[in-house]
Structure 1
Amino acid sequence: MKNYIYSIIALLMVMLCPAQVFVSQAEYFWDTDPGTGNGTPVSAADGSFNSVFEQLTKTGIATPGSGLHKFSVRIKDNTGVWGPVFTNVIDVQQNPTTMLMALAQAEYFWDTDPGVGNGTPVLAADGNFNSVFEQLTKTDIVTPGNGLHKFSVRIKDNSGVWGPVFTNIINIQQNPTSTLLALSQAEYFWDTDPGAGNGTPVLAADGSFNSTYEQLIKTGIVLPSNGLHVFNIRIKDNDGVWSSVFRNVINVGAPITSGCWESFSAGSLHSVGIKADGTLWAWGSNSEGQLGDRTTVDRKVPIQIGTATNWQSVSAGGRQTFAIKSDGTLWAWGYNYDGQLGDGTKVNRLSPVQIGTATNWKSISAGVNHMLAIKTDGTLWGWGYNVFGQLGNGTNTNTIAPAQIGTATNWQSVAQGIVHTLAIKTNGTLWAWGYNADGQLGDGTTTSKNTPVQIGTATNWKSIDAGNNHSVGLKTDGTLWTWGTNSNGQLGNGTTGQKNSPTQIGTDTNWANIDAGSTFTYANKTDGTLWSWGNSSNGQLGDGTNGAVNTLSPAQVGSSSDNMLIYAGSNHVLVKNVDGFLKVCGRNDFGQLGDDTHIQKNTFAYTACPSNCASPMQFSTSNITAATATLNWTASTSAPNGGYLYIYSTNPIVGGIDGTTSATTANLSNLLPNTTYYWWVASHCGSSQSNWMQGGSFKTLPAATTGCWKSVSTGDYHSLGLKTDGTLWTWGRNQNGQLGDGTTSSKDTPIQIGTSNNWSKIITGNSFSAGLKTDGTLWAWGSNRDGQLGDGTTINRMTPAQIGTATDWVSIASGDDYILAIKSNGTLWGWGRNDWGQLGDGTTINKTLPTQIGTATDWKMVAPGVEHTLALKTNGTLWAWGSTTYGRLGNGISTMIAITSPIQIETATDWKSVGAGYLHSVGVKTDGTLWGWGHNSDGQLGDGATAYKTTPTQIGTETNWRDVDANRYHSSMGIKKDGTLWGWGNNDYGQLGDGTKNRRFTPTQIGTSNDKQSIALGSYNTFVINTNGFLSGCGFNEYGQIGDGSALQKKIFVPLACPTNANLAVDNVLTKVDQLKVYPNPVQDYLTVSFDQKILSVTVYNAAGQLVLTKAINDTKGTIDCSAFTSGVYLVKVNAANDFVKTVKVIKR
């Protein structure tokens, strides 16, 4: 194929060059025009460009994927002028198994094809066909009658294979009646003949007409309107005789607008693409660094990855990405938990890293967690997750570096589902291996295989792809075949029944390309139409639906016929058209469509081609207070039309809290006092984004006052706080009355519960709360489904209700749906859910009243989890009971057993504190060492591995741990004796507070401050109180459980202001204090503040004590714009000269 193309070009150049002095440069490109001078260079056959007519040569042409593609050639003359683009549409197929050694024959014909070998022979110019490139010659060509005719040329190689036909339309006219002695004049005209001598003059290239043969030149030709036109040239000899007219029909049109994309790949929640200039771009989810931009910040528009311009192919997996460069090297980045990057480690990579040193990688296919690749020698290699044998290496063991699969050297293509693999060999046979419960291997069984098995005997498979658990393939005859699971109609056979072997879909024979999403399928036909079927829960079928009804058979999507290549992710789709434009549809919550929104698309929409976006510069920080700061920067040389994005964090890695602005400043508020912050800023250019630029760091000022918080507890979705004055405050979700305010309305800021100021201990569980008062009484409220309130019923309570009459309760702790408490006499009591014996009373029966656990009177502390409980006695021994799954009790057992009574764990007597999570446990000993045991899939034990431990295992060697706790979702947090905060394990919701969502497999310091006093871990969020009584929280916040007045997830700790107890009556609002005036009150728009001395600043807080704004006045009178405030009560704090400070309560209407 490659050599045919350039034999044709050799003929073509003779026709294109007559208006040039001589050819000086040539280039080619596929599909998308990269711009003049940016194509792939083509050499002159004789080694130099020095003639009007040049034969071109090029070997090793890189072809795009199979299917219809536009192949274009362009030449430039020695005056620097580029000629027009010549384009042929070529059906690219797999490379032939034999190489073309030389041309052997050529022929031409007019109009009607007489069949290969039956045309009129054309000779090689040197007399012999013995080269890959031949100049052809033919004299005395017999022409047909006058008029438009098709002139066609065809060549054959020395293996007997004929190439495609190259055809030109030529207008045949009568031969001139006079003998041309020399040219003396030339002219051209469009469409209508103005008469001989009245056309537009054309000059001789050498400046004078004095020869029988003249090269003509004309620049600045004026084009007629768009459409078909006849272009005419006429010449005159030196006898004054004009020749007949030479005509060509030309389709005049506006410049063709072309896209910029070469190829794409769609992962689970992210997308990557290569532009025609060889640059790499990525967008969407970036939780594990899968975009490769050195951050874990999501992108909703493409960002260029590095500066390399030689990316050749790319493949996006679950949360990782792979790419091959034109030099044959393989690169990977992103998630690496199972060694799926292949770099020999399990460490995530935030930017592309080269995998090995091989330079002969041909193709790569990224699965969710396992990878397959083919080298140019036809060998197959695999690595990553392999529990179901999906690597095909005969084992079920993960591999962290590329390992060859078998010894075959004829692998052609490969594709993966979640845990199964398909491949085609060069002989057209189909092979499969891996998980097969849904028949996705296609071998007629549901038995999994860990080595490749041939599927059927067919030898005409052309391409394959795999969804989650279904498979799809095309044969060379254009037929479509599917097999595997079909619950969403993803097989397209009109049913939802599973198929265990390939089944033909319909009878069409014009299918061109296929791609399988998670539970849906796409294909296009040779006519360029697009088709989809299966699940459309996120609009991914592009047909305007959104999951109401599955589509069980192929249905055409839209009416366009320019669809070239399809790339389906888990629930989003990218389609490249023939002009290189990208259109998208489907899920978009992480920006994976790249359209600068998070809005799902149920029909296809085109996205703009991204351009390089200049970064901002000259960074500084100003106006720093204990809670606020201003970030400043200078616009790039070309200011971005989309403004700027900024992000700040308490950790020196890109991530944290983000924002946007059209200005070159950003005002930050609600910052932690006496805390170091780091910040970054990027330009937003509409269709693309610049790299993040580090703005530097700053440290907020110490707080002028101390905080008010004594303790905090957080459950699944709600939180409780205890102030130093003994008052109780709650916030978050409230569907079962767990906030205790008598309602079921959620709250996103702390509200006081009752007026009691003698609360001493508080706990939260799954939708319930409880607490102790200083008088030793026990109180509970919220959900009571399992009797966890302990009042003898299973009836929910909307406000705190006293449990029994005992006054000797001293400590209390909550599990997911149960409570353990200790009395002053050292006895242990439990109630609530008990299906795994987590109460420890020797049964698995729920208890609705406090029940004593055994007879021991030396219990010191207790730590319930979800289905297991840990406790310490006063002698420092560790005890456990409940479920043993994953070894969480620490007794050496990992199977599913219920231990219904306390058992001692080993013999150590130096345990200081323990924490129980969902499936894991942690503890600190009196010597300051850290220990962990149980489940470890997310690194929650902190030992750098993921294997579970069935007995307490020391984590590291440090001896300065002060406290540790485990949350109910696979994370752990600890405080060291120096007051620093550390976190490890799962971080899906930012609950570690390090500014990212990355899992941490070893304890990682959170921020730089060393004033941490206590920690409280919920299921998905974390709270910390420092030594000054300030409270801050991070993590999941959908129900306002962080208490910062929003429902936005926080990946760094944000402060909770001290709420105000005082509650002035509205009709007693102060409007005048001393000579200070604050009016009007109530206020609707602008509030005026005046004083007889200079007012330095005015600070406004909401009713929960949270900062709303601070404004510098520096005058005796000022105004505050309250128009954007929500209705309610606000506190206006006025700071004036001579240390005058007053706070006035104001009502906003």
Structure 2
Amino acid sequence: MKRDYSMQKWIVFFSVLLMFSAAPQSPAAAASSGPSILAFWPNALVKADGTYWVWGGSRSVPTQIHGLDHVASSFDRRLVMKQDKTVWYWEGNSPSEIRVRQVEKLNNLVDVLFAGRTLAALDADGSVHTVQWTESGLDMSRFAPLAGIDQVADMTSYYEFRPKSGKQRWIFLKKDGTVWSSSNELTSFTPVASLADIVAVERNFALKADGTVWTWPDEAAEEAPDSLTAVPFKGLTDIRTIKTDGYTHLAIDGKSRLWFWGSTLTGYSDGTQRHEHTAPIRLTGIQNVKDAFVVERSLVVLTNDGNVYETSINRERMPEHPVFELLASDVAQIKADDRHFIMQKNDGSLWGWGVNKDAQLGNGDYEFMHTTPVPVQQPIEVRLNGESVALRSGVVTRNGQAFIPLRSVFEKLGAKVEWDETNKVATISRSEGGAPSVEITVNTKTGETKLNGNTVQMANAPFGINGTSYLPLRFISESLGAKVDWLQPEGVIAITMD
């Protein structure tokens, strides 16, 4: 019998949205298998092939930013650096809006800091470039060299409280170990008195090469001079690392012990109260500390043996021996933000913990918070006849099966897509040159799917995430002329058709 390949072609287009999977896997197994990760951050990663992926906001799972390749590092405000040390930024949200541009004035970027209304970028040569926030946002083409400061090794910033008008205070650590200060305008720079041989700065704290910690007030009288004088912070010696979110402070000493001072909290919203601990406390409930972070209302600790522990700061007093709960094992490193963190296990998989209301964990949901680590979804690329498909949000895996956002594929193929918001029904239709038309309706509430009016029985129901409809990728029939390959080592779903 003669086949109708025109009709067959559009059925195939529908078929590629149906369930595609090898043997079912658990979510944990799905997280650990797949492409290797070259680098990661709290909301982005780079695959071994140099492709760049982000999550959060409208992207509930890692989603490739097309037009960026050979990426080495990711920074705040959508700035990235390629392996050739050139700096780029991207803007836009949907695939058709994404624009990638080079920032000509930046090269070999090592840090980016946004404070007040200023975005500062630090190059490896010690130069700093800045751009100001305006009503229209940040114009990355307007970066200009910051005059008056050079040979910068690190920078930090904090808000200095004053009775009538506080100010943004910028702190610069120079490569010679001196520390310099500037206020909002970044027009003049003065050395912080008493500081030399400094190796790290964190807001209004400085770590000296001899392991002592120095500090200066983050409050001042209205007419106080602009210069700062640092004094030793008593109770800490042999310190190797300092961390602070501005209120709660941590230090790790040469014996891998953890120290705490600053704020604990009780109450929420307008009823939040901060309880100050002015003297450092050695937290004897945790040992062998490699790294530590303040995340939301928790202290998160990575030990040298790869375990991750958590204890709450939601209390009036921090005891010397708080109970630390084990969150995960076999962890190599952690990248933390204020409200969540992403960790990489020794098998290469990424896992997230913390606040997730904006999909910060890349797990494919918008649950407000995950108090048990969840796997960051694999960065899975979809290729149609060898061409990479730009998706609105990345491929979602559930119960070991891959789901794809239907709109991206069909719009790329020129089909008409209609969405009934009230009933949560998508209609995809196409007519071509006298060939029989194809109409697909998908009810993401009930899971009912119809092809040309006939119900299609599917093993896995479609679903919606944040307004994007997903269908599982199966029902690919060789008799329809489609071939789907799961290239697991590359993290690629390759779809080919006649």
TM category, shorter: 0.5 to 0.7
| Change over 3 Å in CA distance of 1:948–1:1106 after alignment to 2 | same
Which consecutive unaligned segments of at least 5 residues does structure 2 have? 1-22, 86-106, 121-128, 160-167, 221-225, 268-273, 403-456, 475-483
Distance 1:1018 1:1052 in 2: 17
Note the alpha carbon deviations across 1:315-358, whole angstroms, 9 max, x for none: xxxxxxxxxxxxxxxxxxxxxxxxxxxxxxxxxxxxxxxxxxxx
Alignment of 1:177-256 (within 5 A): none
Q: Structure 2: which amino acid aligns with 1:1107?
A: T
Which residue in the other structure is 2:211 paired with?
A: 876
Q: Structure 2: which amino acid aligns with 1:930?
A: L
Note the alpha carbon deviations across 1:537-575, whole angstroms, 9 max, x for none: xxxxxxxxxxxxxxxxxxxxxxxxxxxxxxxxxxxxxxx
Q: Structure 1: which amino acid aligns with 2:207?
A: L
Q: Structure 1: which amino acid aligns with 2:59?
A: K
Which residue in the other structure is 1:1017 paired with?
A: 336
Distance 1:1104 1:822 in 2: 40
Distance 2:178 2:473 in 1: 46
Matched, 1:731 2:43: no
| Change over 3 Å in CA distance of 1:1128–1:852 after alignment to 2 | farther
Kindly indicate whether structure 1 or structure 2 has the higher relative contact order, using CA contacts under 8 Å at least 6 residues apart.
2
Distance 2:79 2:340 in 1: 19
Which residue in the other structure is 2:298 paired with?
A: 971
Which residue in the other structure is 1:928 paired with?
A: 256
Please provide the CA RMSD for this pair.
5.1
Matched, 1:672 2:13: no
Which residue in the other structure is 1:1002 paired with?
A: 322
Note the alpha carbon deviations across 1:665-700, whole angstroms, 9 max, x for none: xxxxxx334xxxxxxxxxxxxxxxxxxxxxxxxxxx
Match of 1:777 among 89, 95, 108: 108
Which residue in the other structure is 1:755 paired with?
A: 68
Distance 2:372 2:302 in 1: 17
| Change over 3 Å in CA distance of 1:761–1:800 after alignment to 2 | farther
Q: Does the aligned pair in 2 maintain the 1:727–1:759 contact within 8 Å? A: no
| Change over 3 Å in CA distance of 1:1023–1:1140 after alignment to 2 | closer
Distance 2:79 2:31 in 1: 34
TM-score (norm 2): 0.54
Quote how far apart the aligned CAs of 1:1018 are.
Answer: 2.9
Q: Structure 2: which amino acid aligns with 1:975?
A: L
Match of 2:367 among 1033, 1048, 1060: 1048
Alignment of 1:680-699 (within 5 A): none
Alignment of 1:504-653 (within 5 A): 628=26
Matched, 1:1124 2:443: no
| Change over 3 Å in CA distance of 1:818–1:954 after alignment to 2 | same
Alignment of 1:248-327 (within 5 A): none
Distance 2:242 2:336 in 1: 13
Distance 2:209 2:198 in 1: 6
Which residue in the other structure is 1:1104 paired with?
A: 394
Match of 2:138 among 797, 807, 815: 797
Distance 1:750 1:822 in 2: 35
Q: Does the aligned pair in 2 maintain the 1:722–1:728 contact within 8 Å? A: yes
Q: Structure 2: which amino acid aligns with 1:786?
A: R
Distance 2:158 2:61 in 1: 25
Q: Structure 2: which amino acid aligns with 1:1020?
A: R
| Change over 3 Å in CA distance of 1:1109–1:928 after alignment to 2 | closer
Q: Does the aligned pair in 1 maintain the 2:34–2:490 contact within 8 Å? A: no
SS at structure 1 position matched to 2:117: coil
Distance 2:150 2:82 in 1: 9
Q: Does the aligned pair in 2 maintain the 1:783–1:797 contact within 8 Å? A: no
Quote how far apart the aligned CAs of 1:980 are.
Answer: 1.0
Which residue in the other structure is 2:309 paired with?
A: 982
SS at structure 1 position matched to 2:329: coil
Distance 1:818 1:1057 in 2: 39
Which residue in the other structure is 2:231 paired with?
A: 903
Q: Structure 1: which amino acid aligns with 2:117?
A: D
Identity of aligned residues (%): 17
Quote how far apart the aligned CAs of 1:932 are.
Answer: 0.6
Q: Does the aligned pair in 1 maintain the 2:25–2:399 contact within 8 Å? A: no
Quote how far apart the aligned CAs of 1:960 are.
Answer: 1.3
Which consecutive unaligned segments of at least 5 residues does structure 1 have? 1-624, 629-670, 674-700, 714-718, 734-745, 830-839, 886-897, 940-945, 989-998, 1071-1080, 1082-1100, 1113-1118
Quote how far apart the aligned CAs of 1:916 are.
Answer: 0.4
Q: Does the aligned pair in 1 maintain the 2:311–2:323 contact within 8 Å? A: yes
Distance 1:1022 1:1140 in 2: 26
SS at structure 2 position matched to 1:979: coil
Distance 2:39 2:489 in 1: 30
Quote how far apart the aligned CAs of 1:1025 are.
Answer: 2.2
Note the alpha carbon deviations across 1:480-525, whole angstroms, 9 max, x for none: xxxxxxxxxxxxxxxxxxxxxxxxxxxxxxxxxxxxxxxxxxxxxx
Q: Does the aligned pair in 2 maintain the 1:860–1:873 contact within 8 Å? A: yes
Which residue in the other structure is 1:712 paired with?
A: 41
SS at structure 2 position matched to 1:672: helix
Bigger CA radius of gyration = 1
Distance 1:927 1:782 in 2: 31
| Change over 3 Å in CA distance of 1:912–1:1041 after alignment to 2 | same
Which residue in the other structure is 2:416 paired with?
A: none
SS at structure 1 position matched to 2:279: strand
Quote how far apart the aligned CAs of 1:702 are.
Answer: 9.1
Q: Does the aligned pair in 2 maintain the 1:788–1:819 contact within 8 Å? A: no
Number of residue equivalences? 348
SS at structure 1 position matched to 2:133: coil
SS at structure 2 position matched to 1:710: strand
Quote how far apart the aligned CAs of 1:963 are.
Answer: 1.3
Which residue in the other structure is 2:200 paired with?
A: 861
Q: Structure 2: which amino acid aligns with 1:863?
A: E
